[in-house]
Chain A
Amino acid sequence: MTPRNRLIRTAAALAIGALGLAGLAGCAGPTGATKLDTKADVKLTWWTGQDSDASKLLQKLADEFETEHPNVTIDVSPGASSTEDLLQKLSAGFAGNSYPDISYSFGSWASQLESSGRTLDITKQVADPDVKWDEFSEAARATVQPSGKKTIGFPAIVDNISLIYNTKLFEDAGVAVPTDDWTWDDFRAAAKKISDPSTETYGYAYSVSGSEETTWQFWPHLWQNGGEILKGDKAAFDSAAGVESLEFLKSMAVDDESVYLDQTDTKFGQLFAAGRIGMMTSGPWQLFDLNKAKTPYAVVQLPGTDGDHTTVSGPDIWALFDHKDVNRAHWAYEFTKWLTSAEQDERWNVEIGNLPLRSSEVDSAAFAAKVKEYPGLDVMAANAENATKARPTVSGYVGLSEAVGDAISHVLQGDGDAKTELAKAAKQADEALAGE
């Protein structure tokens, strides 16, 4: 046997050994309970996807649930270093057969999670009137039912985008402040007046990073102009309504130069807080920073088109995963139901400054107190009514969003016209939707 041959043999043996080990690890582990026993000891793993403050709050709630149900232990962790990374962690977890019972998930991942075949289906349980399923917004309910066949979890956080404006900049420029009946033309005129190149002040800001932040800001325009994102399983955003919407944004960015074009998704928020931007269309997550920076601001619903003030909403969810163990499935469901009930939600979402998850909480004392702390939160909560359309939950949405974001970024930076860019994006989106 030549040394070379031996090397190859040894390498092959090692590789087979490693594979064998991996195979054994895959088969190992106790098989789950098949008969429900609510008294049996159960250990749940929960990836919250939240950073420190919110995570601590959720840990406290989990502790409370453990005290109420001593046979249940909940292992709480953020799951990943940032919420974006959770998807990778979940994917790796599925491959290695070690994934949580409950995980936070962006709404846009829902269809991918369902397609993994590892999610629970709680459609029957949530039909129970006790759950008060109808108190969740329509968009939120649609997100946990990506294909419409299964309910893979509960809504976790809801939000929508409203118009936040700097009252002082409006006053300084002598422009009438936005009202509920504003049109986008009013919006454009005000942005132009507030813009001042000498002080580097802009009327409006738009992210051109090409991410979902770029894309979802575009949907209210499209919807208000009567357009649709999808028609059947094909992209439809390149319609006349889509072109009109993008032309409008282009006229502000290129002709008026009244829009700060942000290459990141975060800088415009900081610039707004610093008083350099007159208006931004954003959500409740901005209010904390604005209060910290003591920025004088107010909130109204989005400007409208012919009285239509449709906004976009991005619900995130608690996804529940199947471990072929009815006891774990039972308690994962029970815990999430408890967590998302109005009583607990007031102590978590409302407490941390998010919008209330259920419509019934809007009138609660806890929320009223929060509105005092963060003025405008009530307007944002009421704006949920305008979130009448849900973002598509098909698995090709990620690719579609990328294509649209790209088109918008190009047009707003003066590179290409709306019609060709959108048509190009529609072609790419169709490929993504077809799973190419």
Chain B
Amino acid sequence: MSAVTAGARRASTSGGRTPPRRIPPSRPAQRPGARLRRWKNDLGGWAFVAPASLLVLGLSIFPAGWALLLSTQKWDGFSEPVAVGGKNFAKLATDDKFWDAVVHTGIYTALFVPASVLAGLFLAVALNRRIRFIGVYRTAIFVPFVASAAATGILSTYLFNPEFGLVNNVLRTIGLPAQGWLEDRNQAMVVIAIMALWGSAAFTTVIYLAALQDVPMELLEAARLDGANRWQAFWRVVWPQLAPVTVFTTIWQTIQAIQLFDLVLTTTKGGPLDSTQTIVYYLWHEAFVELNFGYGSAVAWVLFGITLIITVGVVLYGRRSGQEAF
């Protein structure tokens, strides 16, 4: 039954893993006896990749293919599927709820991606120094990343509960009006973005931290000798060195943002008034709650297309401007 979700999942892995293209070396002329050896070699190679290939085939390619077939059918999981051709995709074009979901996902992405990249950069710079207990600080930053989104979501419903939540209690204490948070349709998405940020800023922090430690000290020292202050040294020397990492984290976090689902499920379930209905949540709701598996699969494939376009676009842009993020 994972056909639909697998379509979405596949979209997530397709972005990051494209290895740099290499030109295959031309094969030397055949020597007698070499054929058998090559066979053995090949067999060994296949033996190594077989388990992973089977997994990828069975859990990604096959469900994705099945989802593609499903997207041309109308199927509720019980009665016989009916072939409808491109009807599901045609319906998508005029489905207001789907386009609302696209807009909500866009808003979330616009909130989440820049914030998580900037927060990661800031935290990484703050943590990239020799001070006492640095290990403790680094661990503390990373802990929320390990917490599951379900736990984060449930925690946020307590924190942001309008009646008894901690956040509103703090607001009341300092004399500000209490807010509706997750129950206010204009604020719910912001709260979800904050919670997601809390969970995933650690990820960008760790990546930036690693990149910062790769910045050659000589460059910084040279900049200092040339009279740059710390601020200038950072923006003129360090920041350009971080560019590939910035491209990578931006793509990665965008893909994550487009697939927002678990936090919505555990907090608002798409409400209030569908204001936090994201594409993946809508897909899931259509497929598994309303049992429109065909339509859900169509949404999944459109989502896959969107993710692919974004990824290809950014990678091409990166190549053209000479950055090797992937």
Contacts and interface: CB of A to CB of B under 8 A. Distances in A.
Same assembly: yes
Interface of A: 3, 10-11, 14-15, 18, 87-88, 90-92, 94-95, 112-113, 115-117, 200, 208-210, 263-264, 395, 398-399, 402, 406, 409-410, 413, 415, 435-436
A406 B270 CA distance: 12
26 contacts: A11-B61, A15-B62, A87-B291, A88-B77, A88-B288, A91-B1, A91-B78, A91-B291, A92-B77, A94-B78, A95-B1, A112-B76, A112-B79, A115-B79, A116-B79, A200-B163, A209-B271, A210-B273, A263-B182, A263-B183, A263-B268, A398-B290, A402-B290, A406-B274, A409-B272, A413-B272
B104 interface: no
Contact of A415 (B62, B271, B273): B273
Given A94-B78, A113-B78, A209-B271, A18 B291 contact: no
A29 B271 CA distance: 46
B77 A398 contact: no
Nearest to B288: A88
B51 to A, nearest CB: 12
Contacts of A436: 91
A91 B271 contact: no
Nearest to A435: B74
B271 A263 contact: yes
Contacts of A113: 78
A94 B77 contact: yes
Interface in B45-69: 46, 53-54, 57-58, 61-62
Interface string B79-108: 100000000000100000000000000000
A95 B77 contact: yes
A18 B62 contact: yes
Given A18-B62, A91-B291, A435-B74, A208 B53 contact: no
A395 B76 contact: yes
Chain A binding site: helix, strand, loop or mixed by DSSP? helix
B57 A409 contact: no
Contacts of A87: 291
Nearest to B163: A200
B290 A399 contact: yes
Given A14-B57, A209-B271, A112 B291 contact: yes
A413 B272 CA distance: 9
Given A14-B53, A14-B57, A436-B91, 8 more contacts: A10-B46, A15-B62, A87-B291, A88-B1, A91-B291, A95-B77, A112-B76, A210-B274
Contacts of A112: 76-79, 291
A406 B46 CA distance: 53
Contact of A409 (B62, B77, B163, B273): B273
For the complex of A and B, the 9 pairs showing the least CB-CB separation, nearest first, are A91-B77, A116-B78, A115-B79, A92-B1, A112-B78, A263-B183, A263-B271, A263-B272, A115-B78
A11 B1 contact: no
Interface string B37-50: 00000000010000
A436 B76 CA distance: 12
Nearest to A276: B163
Contacts of A88: 1, 77, 288
Contacts of A413: 185, 272-273
Contacts of B57: 11, 14-15, 18
Nearest to A406: B274
A412 to B, nearest CB: 10
A124 to B, nearest CB: 24
Contacts of B62: 15, 18
A209 B269 contact: yes
Nearest to B180: A263
Contacts of B291: 87, 91, 112, 398
A8 to B, nearest CB: 12
A132 B167 CA distance: 58
A264 B182 CA distance: 11
A328 B178 CA distance: 60
A410 B58 contact: no
B58 to A, nearest CB: 6
A112 B293 CA distance: 14
B98 to A, nearest CB: 13
Interface in B258-315: 268-269, 271-274, 288, 290-291
Contacts of B288: 88
Among B54, B91, B182, B269: residue with most chain A CB under 10 A: B269
Contacts of B78: 90-91, 94, 112-113, 115-116
Contact of A208 (B54, B61, B272): B272
Contacts of A94: 77-78
A90 B272 CA distance: 30
Contacts of B74: 435
